[in-house]
Amino acid sequence: MWSLIAALSYPQRIIGKEGKLPWHLPLELRLFRQQTWGGILVVGRRTLETLPLPLPGRDVWVLSHSLAPQGDYYRVFPNPESLLQALSDVPKPVFFAGGASLYAWALQLPQLQKMFLTWVFLSVEGDTFFPFFAEHEWSLQRWELFTDKGIPFIRAEYERNSR
Ligand SMILES: NC(=O)c1ccc[n+]([C@@H]2O[C@H](COP(=O)([O-])OP(=O)(O)OC[C@H]3O[C@@H](n4cnc5c(N)ncnc54)[C@H](OP(=O)(O)O)[C@@H]3O)[C@@H](O)[C@H]2O)c1
């Protein structure tokens, strides 16, 4: 199963600020870890730079023109074609985990059937936004409200409608 996972501010859809997350929500990070455990995280190179490596319980695959082919704790793919080829026969769940450029690319993949979006109810400044997507192509399956350090957030699970 291929999924996308992101946390974005509501309603501005901000996901990043100066190369980092615009908030620190330990509970949200724990839920992210739980959700993605045992899977492959696919990220862009700028997001890789934010990850505390090695990342326990997950494989990290990176799209990048500039990185050397193999890092100590991650695999590098120089283009989407080589990444898709490698993903086509992995038995593990796959999570497209950002940033904005990677989300925009992943959203147009027909294999992407699920999204886990955390809507964070916080007014923040930022420079990186979750891309607009065709909302009519997706159905909300379930959602749950949490609060972390007084900040409410909703974890929402969407499935792509059958065509
Ligand atoms: N809130 C969230 O859930 C969340 C999740 C993840 C990230 N973020 C935030 O998002 C921001 C980073 O996002 P971003 O959009 O600036 O960067 P990004 O998507 O993480 O990384 C962009 C880089 O990925 C590589 N790349 C992307 N498409 C490629 C392609 N088709 N072929 C080869 N390489 C490709 C390129 O690396 P090279 O330059 O090496 O070629 C590109 O510069 C940060 O602030 C981060 O904290 C937020």
pLDDT of residue 72: 87
Write down the architecture of domain 18-160 according to CATH: 3-Layer(aba) Sandwich (3.40)
41 forms bridges with which residues in the sheet? 60, 95
pLDDT of residue 1: 93
Greatest distance between any 2 Cα atoms in the chain? 43
Please list every protein residue whose CB sits less than 6 Å from any atom of ligand 1.
6-7, 15-16, 19-21, 43-47, 50, 63-67, 79-80, 97-102, 105, 128
Evaluate if residue 70 carries a pLDDT over 80: no
Mutate to test the pocket of ligand 1, among 64, 81, 103, 151 (most ligand atoms within 8 A of CB): 64
Mean pLDDT estimate for the chain: 96
| pLDDT tens digits, 33-54 | 999 999 999 999 999 999 999 9
Q: What's the average model confidence in pLDDT over 3-32?
A: 97
Q: Reduce the DSSP state of residue 159 to 3 states and report it.
A: strand
- 71 — pLDDT class (breaks 50, 70, 90): confident
Q: Reduce the DSSP state of residue 35 to 3 states and report it.
A: helix
Evaluate if residue 163 carries a pLDDT over 80: no
Measured in Å, how far apart are the chain's first and last C-alpha atoms? 17
Tell me which residue has tokens 């898709």: 84
| pLDDT tens digits, 109-154 | 999 999 999 999 999 999 999 999 999 999 999 999 999 999 999 9
pLDDT of residue 140: 97
Q: What's the average model confidence in pLDDT over 6-35?
A: 97
pLDDT of residue 17: 98
Mutate to test the pocket of ligand 1, among 45, 108, 127 (most ligand atoms within 8 A of CB): 45
What six digits make up the tokens of 86?
């490698």
Task: Tell me if the pTM is above 0.75.
Answer: yes
- Ligand 1 atom closest to the Cα of residue 7 is 3
C-beta of residue 98 within 8 angstroms of C-beta of residue 42: no
- Ligand 1 atom closest to the Cα of residue 43 is 20
Distance 23 CA to ligand 1 centre (A): 18
